[in-house]
Amino acid sequence: MVDETGGSRVVSAEALSLEQGRAALALGAASMGEFEWDFVRDRFVVSPRMSAITGVPAGETPARGGHFALGFVHPDDLEAVRAAVGERLIRDGGYELRYRMVRPDNGQVQWMESAAVILRGASGPVEKVIGVVRDISRRKAEEDEREALVAELDHRVKNVLAAVQSLAAQSARQTVSLDAFLATFGGRLDAMAAAHTLLTATRWRGADIGDIAAAELGGLACGRARWSGPPMVLNPRATNALALALHELATNAVKYGALSTDAGRIDMTWEAAPDGGFELVWAERRGPPVAGPARRGFGVTLLEKVTGRELGGRVRLEFGVAGVRATLRAGAAALAPSPNLPTDPPVVPPPSNATRLGGQSVGEHADIDLAGVRILVVEDSVLLALELEAGLIEAGAKIVAAASDLEEALSFMELDFDVAVLDADLNGRSVTPVASALAARGVPFIFATGYDPAVAAPEGFGAPVVRKPYHIHQIAAAVVGALDRR
């Protein structure tokens, strides 16, 4: 009970016990321990909770002017903590600090968070400092990991952008028309995207040569490309290099080599090298006789110099009656230190169903006519939406409307269109409400997404899914497929 007499507040023993119980419950729930520094008696009091958190013995001990508590602070943080405590207690009447301490019971270093306030006597001088501590080692480790991941992501994004910029510049220098540039540059971006998908699935630890081959060659001309070799995991740098190398070889085969004729075949094999690296042989057969290029384009430069350098080895190209033969030698540094990768290879869209190689479309949907098809486009990226609309219009379709967010897309549900292309994620929001509305109307649709295949699109609709980055031919083929299902 509380009684107010003469302006002073008197708390009963029962009420005080209740308040103390609540305080203890709150401290326990927050994983905090409390301490008290008695200035008058120069004593430091450590609670059992604080002792459990810090390893400092519980109970009362001489404070020695604060040296007792400071004795557990990590040497690298000691001066900063001493200065901050003194300054903030005087200036603000309290402090909040983060620092490292060394546990006296086991020598373990842990991150601590501490907060304290001054209690003054009736006449004004400081009598006590009371405070709490909390072990934040796990939180600090998570923060450090996030910062490291952000820094690594920033580094990789800049590297990717630099590589894309270089590919664009080099491709532009070697092409004589816009169409040729778009086809060549787009194909090289596909190769980079396939390698990135493989690396993302393994958390950037590396990719197996067989998976790289499947990603780059799996859809070529109805299985006319074969590959075999022992399991060998390449590091991320070598993965990107080999993906681009195989893309350049496949592009050349489609335009001039074995895949330019119906009878042509490609055999690719690899084996471990005595020096710890590997040797990969690309051999074309049953194709037209080939001669060395009249001029050294970027593709040849990429194969002979960039790929050789990135693989820590060399590349040899031979042009003969039987076709192109390329031998890639890689050093031991190209291999990943640990082959502990997922047993199931990630799903990578192969260069089929109108994926472009060197200006030609490979696959059964090379020429798709969407004349008269009315399409609703739902895409939150303005650039992607513009490119998508332009490509569909070139294929003969009519764009009824284009929406960039969920509300706008839902507002178009009463329009008259034949099919919809839906970005699975609209500025962080699922496109499911739009898909549900379309399904209720019986209007077919397809999903476009950049997410992992396992979570690529809302479940339960059975709609075709096209993964980004995509070609307009892939979207057109999926649109035809969706319309045929009606």
Residue 6 lies in a domain: no
pTM (2 d.p.): 0.51
Task: Return the pLDDT at 307.
Answer: 76
Alpha carbon distances (Å) from 71 to 61, 103, 111, 176, 245 = 13, 10, 15, 73, 60
The band of 50, judged by pLDDT with boundaries at 50, 70 and 90, is very high
Please state the rounded mean pLDDT for residues 426-442. Answer: 89
Q: What is the mean pLDDT of residues 90-104?
A: 90
Structural domain includes residue 7: no
Q: Would you place residue 56 in the very low, low, confident or very high pLDDT band (cuts 50, 70, 90)?
A: very high
User: Rounded to whole angstroms, how far apart are CA atoms 212 and 363?
Assistant: 20
Same domain, 241 and 287: yes
pLDDT at 163: 59
Same domain for 93 and 173: no
Instruction: Please check whether residues 330 and 448 belong to one and the same domain.
Output: no
Residue 346 contacts residue 197 (beta carbons within 8 Å): yes
In a domain, 369, yes or no: no
The answer, yes or no, to whether residue 416 has pLDDT greater than 80, is: yes
Classify residue 5: in a domain, yes or no. no
Residue that wins the pLDDT comparison between 286 and 467: 286
Instruction: Let me know: does 396 contact 369? Beta carbons within 8 Å.
Output: yes
Share of the chain above pLDDT 70, in %: 76
Alpha carbon separation from 89 to 75, 126, 131, 273 (Å, rounded)? 21, 10, 12, 68
- Check pLDDT > 60 for residue 18: no
Q: Are residues 81 and 147 in the same domain?
A: no
Judge whether 9 lies within some domain. no
Residues 131 and 156 grouped into a single domain: no
Q: What is the pLDDT of residue 286?
A: 87
Question: Bigger pLDDT: 20 or 97?
Answer: 97
Nearest 5°: phi and psi at 9?
-100, 120
Question: Pick from 113, 135, 157: which residue ends a domain?
Answer: 135
The pair of three-digit structure tokens given for residue 51, joined into one six-digit string: 């002792």
**8 lies in some domain:** no
Q: How many residues can be counted in the chain?
A: 486
**Residues 144-194 pLDDT 10s:** 888 877 766 666 666 566 556 656 766 676 667 777 777 667 766 776 777
Q: For position 418, which CATH number holds? A: 3.40.50.2300
Closest residue by Cα to residue 225 from 343, 362, 348: 362
Amino acid at 373: V
* 110 and 171 both lie in a single domain: no
Tell me, what DSSP letter sits at residue 470? -
**Residue 58 belongs to a domain with what CATH number?**
3.30.450.20
Judged by phi (left if over 0) then psi (alpha if -120 to 50, else beta), residue 439 lies in alpha
Would you say residue 20 lies in a domain? no
Q: Assess whether 220 and 312 both reside in one domain.
A: yes
Residue 338's pLDDT is: 57
Last residue of a domain, one of 362, 391, 406: 362
At CB < 8 A and 24+ separation, what contacts does 381-389 make?
A: 381/423, 384/423, 384/468, 387/472, 388/421, 388/472, 388/475
Residue 391 has pLDDT above 80, yes or no: yes
Tell me the pLDDT tens digit for each residue of 109-134.
Answer: 999 999 998 888 777 788 889 999 99
- Please report the pLDDT score of residue 383 as a whole number: 61
Confidence of residue 455 (pLDDT cuts 50, 70, 90): very low
CATH number (domain holding residue 336): 3.30.565.10
Share the mean pLDDT of the chain. 79
Please check whether residues 408 and 468 belong to one and the same domain.
yes
- The reported pLDDT for the residue numbered 196 is 73
Is 162 among the domain residues? yes
Distance (Å, whole) CA 324 – CA 261: 14
Same domain, 160 and 298: yes
Mean pLDDT of 337-362: 44
| Count of structural domains, the chain | 3
Arithmetic mean of pLDDT, 471-482: 85
Note the pLDDT tens digit of each residue in 308-319. 778 888 888 888
Rg of the chain over all Cα atoms, to the nearest angstrom? 33
Cα separation of 390 and 387, whole Å?
A: 5
Same domain as 426, residue 311: no
Residue type, 431: V
Domain endpoint, select from 135, 153, 171: 135
Same domain, yes or no, for 120 and 91?
Answer: yes
- As a whole number, mean pLDDT of residues 37-64 equals 92
Residue ranges making up the domain that contains 127: 31-135
